[in-house]
C-alpha cells in the first residue's frame, strides 16, 4: 500500500473510534511501527489527528479556557435541549447545586418550578437568570470571581458547601475522558466542583457531545463518581456503550 493509501486508511479508522495504537496500525497495514509513527507525524502536521502515548486520536484531547460569552455561541440548540431534559429531573421542593458553564446556564433558563426550589450556584449568570422566578430560593456562592466563566471559586465557596447537603448536583465540564475522568480548565474550579460532589447525593453531568474525548487542565473526578450524563444525539453509540459499561446512565436530549 502507498503512503497515501495508509494515510486514508488511518483517517477512516479514526472516523469510527476514539483512538488507535501504533501497534494496531502496524499489524493492520503490515508495516513497521517506525513507518506508522512517520505517517502519524505527517498527519498530525496536517491537522488531521493528534498523537498521544503510542496512539492516534481524531482530535486534540486538550481543551482551552474560553470566555463564557464565546462559549454561549457554541452548540446552542444542543445545550437548550440538554437544559430542558436536565430540568425535568428536578422534583417538588427539591434542593440542588448548579455549578458553572454555558450548559448549566441553559438548564437555568429551563427551570420553572411550581413549588419552592432551593438552589446553590457558583455561576453569576445562573443566579441572575433564576432570580426572575419568585419560587426559587438562591444562595450565590462567594469567593474569587473567574472572569472567563463568571463563576466563583476558592475557600469561601468551599466552606459554605461543607455545611450543606443537596439531592442533586448539575455539573458542567470541559472534558470527559475514559482514562482521565471529568475535567475543567481551572484547578480552583475543580476543587469547588469536588466539594459540590461531596455535598450532593447524585451528580448529573450536563455536556454536549463535543466534550467527549477531551480533557482540561484540572481533574474533577473519575467517571465512576458520576451517576448520570445528559448529552445530545451526536455522541457516538460506542461512547454511550462504554459509559454504560462503567455503570453510568446516559440520557440523550432529543
* pLDDT tens digit sequence for 44-83: 888 888 887 788 887 666 665 556 566 677 789 999 999 9
Going from the N-terminus, what domains does the chain have, and what CATH number goes with each? 3-57 (1.10.10.10), 68-252 (3.40.50.1360)
Q: Indicate the average pLDDT of the chain.
A: 91
Q: Grid coordinates in use for 220?
A: 474533577
Tens digit of pLDDT for each residue in 133-149? 999 999 999 999 998 88
Is the pLDDT at 1 greater than 70, yes or no? yes
**pLDDT digit string (tens) for 161-217?**
999 999 999 999 999 999 899 999 899 999 999 999 999 999 999 999 989 988 888
**CB within 8 A of 156, min separation 6: which ones?**
141, 142, 143, 144
Distance CA 150, CA 152 (A): 7
All three cell numbers of 129 = 437568570
The grid cell for 226 is 458520576
pLDDT band per the 50, 70, 90 thresholds, residue 16: confident
In which order are the strands placed within the sheet that holds 55-57?
Answer: 20-21, 55-57, 50-52
Rounded to whole angstroms, the Cα distance separating 116 from 135 reads 5
Please write the tens of the pLDDT for every residue from 65-75.
Answer: 556 566 677 78
Amino acid at each position: 500500500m502507498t503512503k497515501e493509501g495508509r494515510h486514508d486508511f488511518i483517517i477512516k479508522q479514526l472516523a469510527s473510534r476514539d483512538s488507535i495504537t501504533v501497534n494496531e496500525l502496524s499489524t493492520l497495514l503490515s508495516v513497521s511501527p517506525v513507518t506508522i509513527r512517520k505517517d502519524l507525524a505527517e498527519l498530525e502536521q496536517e491537522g488531521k489527528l493528534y498523537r498521544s502515548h503510542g496512539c492516534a486520536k481524531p482530535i486534540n484531547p486538550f481543551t482551552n479556557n474560553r470566555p463564557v460569552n464565546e462559549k454561549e455561541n457554541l452548540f446552542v440548540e444542543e445545550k437548550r435541549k440538554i437544559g430542558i431534559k436536565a430540568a425535568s429531573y428536578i422534583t417538588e421542593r427539591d434542593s440542588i447545586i448548579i455549578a458553572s458553564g454555558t450548559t448549566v446556564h441553559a438548564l437555568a433558563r429551563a427551570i420553572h418550578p411550581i413549588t419552592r426550589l432551593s438552589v446553590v450556584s457558583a455561576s453569576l449568570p445562573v443566579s441572575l437568570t433564576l432570580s426572575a422566578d419568585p419560587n426559587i430560593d438562591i444562595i450565590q456562592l462567594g469567593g474569587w470571581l473567574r472572569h472567563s466563566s463568571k463563576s466563583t471559586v476558592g475557600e469561601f465557596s468551599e466552606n459554605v458547601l461543607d455545611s450543606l447537603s443537596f439531592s442533586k448536583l448539575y455539573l458542567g465540564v470541559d472534558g470527559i475522558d475514559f482514562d482521565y475522568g471529568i475535567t475543567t480548565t481551572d484547578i480552583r474550579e475543580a476543587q469547588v466542583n469536588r466539594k459540590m460532589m461531596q455535598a450532593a447525593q447524585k451528580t448529573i453531568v450536563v455536556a454536549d457531545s463535543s466534550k467527549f474525548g477531551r480533557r482540561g487542565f484540572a481533574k474533577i473526578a473519575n467517571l465512576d463518581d458520576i451517576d448520570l450524563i445528559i448529552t445530545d444525539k451526536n455522541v457516538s453509540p460506542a461512547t454511550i456503550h462504554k459509559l454504560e459499561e462503567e455503570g453510568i446512565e446516559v440520557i440523550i436530549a432529543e
